[in-house]
Amino acid sequence: MKYFAILTIVVLLGCGFFATSQLFASAYATVANRSSQPSETALNASRLATRLAPGKVEYLHTRAYLEESLSGSAPALETYHQSLAANPSWPNTWAAIARHHARYNNFDDKMLTAVVRSQALGPYERTLQYINATVGVDYWYQLSPALREALQPSIMFSLSHEAAKPLLAYINTQGRTRLFCRRFTAAVPGSAKWCESARLPTAPRQTTRPSN
């Protein structure tokens, strides 16, 4: 009985420590997420959160985003991969990795894999699809045919749902209206007429040879 009582006390103390550590991790994560702009304070809070809860993918994801903004490519990519190790089925991490590769002009097979995995794991998650869509809009002219093909469904999906207005505004802000008119009017009813009235071509111009 004596040993059982001691073991019980040890287990209870362990459970209490774990619960307390998770509570502190949540508090640090809240500080990191509430920051309107990436800051060292937010990054330090995020690092503390991931130390106290190392398997929490949401905390790792936030930390990687802050590291990407403040510390550069290598630390962020390492943390994104820690997030994948904790949960390889979370599509947001795959989408973030794809965006990370694009940001650093790494339009390679690793980026393609990240895009494809995010699409497969979150085909109807609108926030994720919007993130992929903005990557496609921003880097369209630098993408390989395979990456364009992989990202095009996200653009079409986002243009055909509630995200259409934000994405259209984003397309306009980024100076991609010509790209939209050439490739994506099918997703937005009436947009082809708008493109025509704005004298923007709705399809690539084709040259025809005069008949003999």
Model confidence over 191-209: pLDDT tens digits? 888 788 767 776 544 444 4
Task: Report pTM.
Answer: 0.77
d(CA 56, CA 82): 10
User: In terms of DSSP H, where are the helices of 40-163?
Assistant: 40-52, 57-70, 73-86, 91-103, 109-121, 126-139, 145-159
d(CA 101, CA 95): 10
Return the CATH number of the domain spanning residue range 26-88: 1.25.40
Whether residue 66 contacts residue 43, with contact meaning beta carbons closer than 8 Å, is answered with: yes
The total of other beta-carbon atoms located within 10 Å of residue 140's CB is 17
Query: Could you list the pLDDT tens digit for every one of the 212 residues in the chain?
Result: 444 334 333 333 344 444 565 455 565 566 566 665 778 888 888 888 888 888 788 888 888 888 888 877 888 999 999 999 999 999 999 999 999 999 999 999 999 999 999 999 999 999 999 999 999 999 999 999 999 999 999 999 999 877 688 999 999 999 999 999 999 988 888 888 878 876 777 654 444 444 43
- Domain ranges, ordered by start, for the chain: 26-88
d(CA 141, CA 136): 9
What is the number of helices (H) and of strands (E) in the chain?
A: 11, 0
